[in-house]
């Protein structure tokens, strides 16, 4: 986000001075055909094996840090990464950028899911129903992505729209299928603090077939954050309790139906922060105020940046693997980070 990017760049400079949505699919033999007509781009990586800077710790509550990569490219379109899918047992990612691009890459990983490198990175513009790019049609500022059966749902924050695209994106040139009808309450969200997170409840769960869309922030910093349960053209509202100056950036459902909520903050008091909350399936009800349990919290003493994307896949031992991605706002003072954690039993 432009406003957030300016503030975060200033905080990053100050810090430098002081220091799916579906049940897990079966393992696939070979990579998915994905964005085959997209523009290839060179991306270098800088691996790191410590999450907390200066400390050789790997366990953080129920999460075990597997490793991380800093993604580095001279092409500024490899930036602004936001919504994220982890595909093909973690061997591929599909992300969207806040200026209306699809971005995909293959992830080279060790047998336990530790990310080692990226390859075959490419990107291409999203196209609306008239084959115009979302940027040209002023439909960009795309922030979140979720798989809904044989289609993809994508949110656009400033317009507070939800778009449907075909899935899989074999070429990347596939046109938008439709713009979903959204309520007046969604359209009334603050433009730069509008629809930021999107998750699709998994098959077999209580909320099966329901999409959960959540704003970045409420009307003011002290208000709860609006959320919306969307199914079959109907909408019911709930909210997320805002605390400790955190804003919502993304969400994903676990196969159990529980929700992982990714949050970030940046301000002169706290500098940069990231938090992951677990919200139980039974608590996700119309009219509810969701609070949940903090699984992980990190500040500028950890390898984080403007964390905006979260996705899951099943590891080789059946464990849940979390992948997190940061939005560098296409700034030289920020980084694009890919982090991997293994989730142990809660």
Per domain, the residue ranges of the chain are 2-343
**Residue 346 banded pLDDT, cuts 50, 70, 90:** low
Distance between CA atoms of residues 27 and 10, nearest Å: 43
Per-residue pLDDT reduced to its tens digit, 208-237: 999 999 999 999 989 999 999 999 999 999
User: Which residues 6+ apart lie within 8 Å of 258 measured at CB?
Assistant: 278, 279, 280, 281
Q: Judge whether 211 and 181 are in contact, CB under 8 Å.
A: no
CATH of domain 2-343: 2.115.10
DSSP letters for 263-274? EEEEETTTEEEE
Distance between CA atoms of residues 216 and 266, nearest Å: 13
Distances in Å between the Cα of 327 and the Cα atoms of 21, 174, 177, 272, 275 are 21, 25, 27, 13, 15
pLDDT of residue 268: 84
The average pLDDT across 326-340 equals 95
Per-residue pLDDT reduced to its tens digit, 23-35: 443 333 468 999 9
User: Which residues 6+ apart lie within 8 Å of 228 measured at CB?
Assistant: 183, 185, 186, 212, 213, 214, 235, 236, 237, 238
- Helix spans in the chain (H): 2-18, 184-187
Task: Calculate the average pLDDT of the chain.
Answer: 91
The average pLDDT across 88-107 equals 97
pLDDT of residue 20: 32
pLDDT of residue 192: 83
The dihedral through the CA atoms of 301, 85, 177, 103 has a sign that is positive
% of the chain residues with pLDDT over 70: 91
Distance between CA atoms of residues 224 and 248, nearest Å: 11
The average pLDDT across 324-329 equals 96
Q: Judge whether 271 and 298 are in contact, CB under 8 Å.
A: no
User: Which residues 6+ apart lie within 8 Å of 18 measured at CB?
Assistant: none
Per-residue pLDDT reduced to its tens digit, 269-313: 889 999 999 999 999 999 999 999 999 999 999 999 999 999 999
Model confidence at 19: pLDDT above 50: no
pLDDT of residue 184: 95
The average pLDDT across 244-260 equals 97
pLDDT of residue 270: 87
Distance between CA atoms of residues 309 and 311, nearest Å: 7
**Residue 238 banded pLDDT, cuts 50, 70, 90:** very high
pLDDT of residue 13: 39
């Amino acid at each position: 986000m432009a406003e957030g990017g300016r503030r975060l760049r200033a905080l990053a400079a100050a810090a430098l001075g002081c220091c799916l949505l579906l049940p897990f699919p079966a393992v696939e033999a070979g990579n998915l055909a994905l964005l085959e007509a997209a523009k290839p781009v060179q991306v270098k990586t800088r691996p790191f094996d410590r999450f907390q800077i200066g400390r050789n710790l790997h366990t953080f509550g129920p999460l075990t840090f597997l490793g991380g990569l800093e993604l580095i490219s001279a092409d500024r379109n490899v930036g602004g990464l936001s919504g994220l899918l982890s595909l093909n047992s973690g061997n591929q990612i599909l992300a969207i950028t806040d200026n209306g691009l699809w971005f995909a890459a293959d992830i080279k990983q060790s047998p336990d899911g530790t990310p080692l490198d990226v390859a075959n990175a490419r990107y291409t513009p999203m196209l609306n129903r008239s084959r115009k790019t979302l940027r040209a049609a002023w439909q960009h500022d795309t922030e979140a992505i979720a798989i809904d059966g044989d289609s993809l749902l994508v949110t656009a924050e400033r317009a507070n729209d939800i778009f449907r695209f075909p899935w899989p994106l074999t070429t990347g040139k596939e046109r938008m299928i439709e713009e979903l009808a959204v309520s007046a309450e969604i359209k009334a969200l603050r433009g730069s603090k509008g629809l930021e997170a999107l998750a699709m409840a998994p098959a077999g769960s209580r909320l099966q077939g329901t999409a959960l869309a959540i704003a970045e922030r409420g009307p003011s910093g002290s208000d709860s954050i609006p959320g919306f349960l969307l199914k079959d053209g109907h909408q019911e509202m709930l909210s997320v309790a805002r605390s400790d100056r955190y804003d919502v950036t993304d969400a994903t459902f676990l196969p159990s139906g529980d929700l992982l909520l990714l949050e970030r903050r940046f301000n002169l008091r706290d500098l940069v922060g990231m938090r992951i909350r677990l919200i139980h399936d039974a608590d996700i009800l119309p009219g509810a105020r969701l609070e949940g349990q903090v699984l992980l919290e990190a500040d500028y003493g950890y390898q984080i940046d403007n964390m905006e994307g979260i996705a899951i896949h099943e590891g080789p031992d059946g464990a849940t693997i979390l992948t997190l991605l940061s939005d560098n706002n296409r700034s030289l003072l920020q980084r694009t980070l890919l982090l991997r954690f293994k989730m142990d039993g809660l």
